[in-house]
Amino acid sequence: MPSRELSLVDNARRAGLARPVQVLAVTGGKGGVGKSSVAVNLAAALAGAGKRVVLLDGDLGLANVDVFLGLSPRYTLQHVLSGERTLDEILLESSQGFQVVPAASGIAQLANLDAPAHLGLVQAFSSLAARIDVLIVDTAAGIAHGVTQFSQAAQQVVVVICDEPASLTDAYALVKVLSRQHGVNRFRVVANMARSPGAGADLFHRFERVAARFLDVVLDFVGEIPLDECLRRAVRAQRPVLDAYPASPAAGAFKKLAARADKWPVPAGPRGNVEFFVERLVQRPAVHLEAVP
């Protein structure tokens, strides 16, 4: 029989070696800029690269990840919040090898979650920690409480912009509120619907010039997704473009983005906020801590 000391050491080692879960919130301020498209295709690309991915539909009141993937959820987060089902029980398997946490549409209780309920939801994900590598949260448009809470709770905030004045002003407002009120000061920016190669980088620089001047934030340009009719067709076919048109320019761009995202370091320790999988960060041993560059 192992001694008590030995089992304590073993437990500590097991806890210490717990792999951190990377959490990406995909957001952007404005509606229709491509947040769900980026979230769904990033999930498909990372799953395709062998990662165990869960995609959370964080648009709690107007769910549409299920529609993007042609899934018909029987149970949703509504049933988790009411205590009828566990998070595990509502997980759906996508055809692309990742799992989906579906939200519900038109349920006011979900759309207007108060802070304690939101915290409970974030904490509920800890039960999945040992089985997943990446959690992607597709957030709603706007800067309402649900969006800022999910973004703050994520380890990486991915801001999707496109070449429309309202996209830039709304993304600016979102970055401002997240940095000033929620302690988020690093953002990964994706330029979507780029009309020509390089147009996304130009758009990013326009955004950065304003944001970096007035806000104390770090913005990383992490890639552009071309305006691609294949993506539109894939949405209509309720499939990720990676699956429906794997050779399309958009699919190639998502694969590149996923390869990049795969290298983003998980922050070294908890940041003192409501955070997904916070206990994994607390348990990581010092030798494994990485500095965020």
Ligand X SMILES: Nc1ncnc2c1ncn2[C@@H]1O[C@H](COP(=O)(O)OP(=O)(O)OP(=O)(O)O)[C@@H](O)[C@H]1O
Reading the block at residue 176, the tokens are 């401002």
Contact between 248 and ligand X by CB under 6 A: the answer reads: no
213 CB-contact burial (10 Å; exposed 0-12 / middle 13-18 / buried 19+): exposed
Check: CB of residue 52 under 8 Å from CB of residue 265.
no
Q: How far is the CB of 240 from ligand X (least distance, A)?
A: 11
Strand partners, 99: 54, 93
d(Cα 126, Cα 12) in Å, to the nearest integer?
18
Check: CB of residue 158 under 8 Å from CB of residue 222.
yes
Q: Taking CB under 6 A as the criterion, which residues in 186-205 touch ligand X?
A: 192-193
Q: How far is the CB of 282 from ligand X (least distance, A)?
A: 33
Contact between 141 and ligand X by CB under 6 A: the answer reads: yes
Comparison of 105 and 267: residue with beta carbon closer to ligand X: 105
d(Cα 274, Cα 81) in Å, to the nearest integer?
18
Task: Using the rule CB under 5 A, give the single segment among 32-40, 75-83, 91-99, 275-283 that binds Mg ion.
Answer: 32-40
Q: How far is the CB of 61 from ligand X (least distance, A)?
A: 11
Q: What is the distance between the terminal CA atoms of the chain, rounded to a whole angstrom?
A: 46
Binding partner selected for residue 26 from Mg ion, ligand X, none, CB under the kind-specific 5 to 8 Å limit: none
3-state DSSP assignment of residue 45: helix
Check: CB of residue 103 under 8 Å from CB of residue 113.
no
d(Cα 178, Cα 156) in Å, to the nearest integer?
12
Which residues neighbour 262 within 8 Å (Cβ) at sequence distance 6 or greater? 46, 49, 51
Contact between 60 and ligand X by CB under 6 A: the answer reads: no
Q: Taking CB under 6 A as the criterion, which residues in 249-268 touch ligand X?
A: 250
Comparison of 171 and 278: residue with beta carbon closer to ligand X: 171
Binding partner selected for residue 225 from Mg ion, ligand X, none, CB under the kind-specific 5 to 8 Å limit: ligand X
d(Cα 219, Cα 208) in Å, to the nearest integer?
7
Q: Find the binder of ligand X among 132, 235, 251, 266 (CB under 6 A).
A: 235
Binding partner selected for residue 195 from Mg ion, ligand X, none, CB under the kind-specific 5 to 8 Å limit: none
Contact between 35 and Mg ion by CB under 5 A: the answer reads: yes
Of 180, 202, 178, the C-alpha closest to 191 is 202
CA 95, distance to chain mean position in Å, is: 19
Contact between 151 and ligand X by CB under 6 A: the answer reads: no
d(Cα 193, Cα 5) in Å, to the nearest integer?
58
Comparison of 21 and 258: residue with beta carbon closer to ligand X: 258
Q: Find the binder of Mg ion among 22, 27, 36, 156 (CB under 5 A).
A: 36
Contact between 32 and ligand X by CB under 6 A: the answer reads: yes
Place of tokens 């993506």: 231
3-state DSSP assignment of residue 188: strand
Task: Using the rule CB under 6 A, give the single segment among 25-33, 86-94, 108-116, 270-278 that binds ligand X.
Answer: 25-33
Count of residues interacting with Mg ion (CB under 5 A) = 2
Task: Using the rule CB under 5 A, give the single segment among 28-36, 170-178, 250-258, 277-285 that binds Mg ion.
Answer: 28-36
Contact between 156 and Mg ion by CB under 5 A: the answer reads: no
Q: Which residue's beta carbon is nearest to the bound Mg ion?
A: 36
Point out which residues bind Mg ion (CB under 5 A).
35-36
Point out which residues bind ligand X (CB under 6 A).
28, 31-37, 59, 141, 192-193, 225, 227-228, 231-232, 235, 250
